[in-house]
Amino acid sequence: MLTIKYRQYCERCDVDKPDDGPAGDTVTSSKRGNEIDNDCYFAFLDSNGTLVPLAQTGKDRAITWFTATLQGRLFSVTKLICRQCGTINHSPRLQSYTGYGCLVGIILFIAALIVFEQFGIPVFLPIFFAALVVFIPEWLLARWLANRYRERESKHAFTQCCKCDSKDATTLYEAQDETLICPKCQHRTMHISIENAIVAPRFSLKTLLVVMTLMAIVAGGVTWYDRTYSPVTLEHASAEQANQALRGFVNIPSAATDVHVQYTPFSWVQLRFQLSEDESVKWCESNHWMIDRTTRNETGFFKFTTGSGGGTWQEGEITCVVFAE
């Protein structure tokens, strides 16, 4: 877990203090004000009804996070700073922890991607599937806990400042752009800043689910566009493979072999494949393509027209171009 360090600094109270430098010079200290570790933490509700901060593993109380979750004793406590007096308050809320996480989502995504690709299912479905499996259990458990232990949560919830009784408070993260009341001098000269050079952005489960769903929709759109409009080239394919790629633009006889395809979706296709003369004639007639009777009488060769295109059959091989009507 990334530790975020905040600094609480007042322009009046926390003035620069001179220090002795290595060469006897006077230097200015860059560490002013009070340092605050993290803006939230986990806490365990003990038998006395007291919220006790937990270590990250939660093993110090011989109880797992999942067990504490089911008992309604695991809380996430957010630090709030009062806008009226600058006092830091604590806002506990029931926390759910099922053990699902990013690793489970990645494993499920890879597994679903492999399985779905075997059936030609678009890539966005594994993303959406992983998002549902990872986040929906957390969301359902959180709703169940909020309903079952709502009185316990409301008892410990933040309602007003512990010092001035004001209800106007904000998180440390959101207070960075504000000038607040200093709890020492009571002037509006206090600022909150983050000490860490790199801080990960904050997301709730709801936000992450929405983001992953949008990613799935975008990926699905890109996949659909690519499969629908991208040119297709096949070499030495079977008739079944070619018909799947052509998606009804033109149907190749099942008896055709060694099929070569150059297809621009919804525009035109160039075909070359092996087919007997009788099957070729039947194929042309089934598509209502006109056969040139003068060439039909020649042995091993005839021409035919395919609307605005055309083709030939010669010694067992058809070559033709078909345009969209």
CA-nearest of 317, 314, 246, 236 to 275 is: 317
Q: Which two tokens stand for residue 190?
A: 């206090």
Q: For 104-126, write each residue's pLDDT tens digit.
A: 556 666 676 666 666 666 655 66
Cα angle, residue 73 at apex, residues 67 and 75 outer, rounded to 5°: 110
Least confident of 26-35, 40-49, 93-102, 147-156: 26-35
Distance (Å, whole) CA 199 – CA 188: 27
Do the beta carbons of residue 141 and residue 98 sit within 8 Å? Answer: yes
Segment 128-169, tens digit of pLDDT: 666 666 666 667 777 888 888 888 888 888 899 999 999 999
Q: How many CA atoms lie within 13 A of 264 on its CB side?
A: 6
309 DSSP β-pair partners: 306
Whole-angstrom distance, CA of residue 68 vs CA of residue 74: 5
Contact 150, 144 (CB under 8 A): no
Sign of the torsion angle spanned by Cα atoms 213, 216, 222, 228: negative
Where do we find the tokens 């296709």?
Answer: 269
Q: How many Å apart are CA 75 and CA 84, to the nearest integer?
A: 26
| Cβ neighbours, 10 Å, residue 313 | 25
* Closest by Cα among 289, 234, 292 to 263: 234
Q: Residue 228 corresponds to which tokens in the numbers above?
A: 């629908």
For the chain, the structural domain boundaries read 5-99+136-201, 231-323
**Most confidently modeled range among 140-149, 187-196, 283-292:** 283-292
Neighbours of 19 (CB within 10 A): 10
pLDDT tens digit string along 199-215? 555 555 556 666 766 77
Please report which residue ranges of the chain form alpha helices under DSSP H. 65-70, 102-118, 124-148, 150-156, 205-229, 239-246, 277-286, 293-296
Q: Are strands 301-306 and 309-314 parallel, antiparallel or unpaired?
A: antiparallel
Give me the mean pLDDT over the 268-292 stretch: 92
So what's the pLDDT on residue 257? 94
Residues 6+ away with beta carbon under 8 Å from 199: 2, 4
What distance in Å separates the CA atoms of residue 144 and residue 149, rounded to the nearest whole number? 8
Q: 141 near 76, Cβ under 8 Å?
A: no
Pull the structure tokens for residue 303: 């021409």
Taking residue 295's Cβ as centre, other Cβ atoms within 10 Å add up to 14
Q: How far apart are CA 43 and CA 8, in angstroms?
A: 23
Residue 63 has pLDDT above 80, yes or no: no
Tokens encoding 297: 């009488």
For the beta sheet containing 34-37, the strands, ordered from the edge strand earlier in sequence to the opposite edge, are 34-37, 5-10, 190-194
Which pLDDT score is estimated for 297?
65
- Show Cβ contacts of residue 33 under 8 Å, excluding neighbours closer than 6 positions: 7, 8, 9, 10, 14
Q: What is the pLDDT of residue 263?
A: 94
Averaged pLDDT for residues 233-255: 92
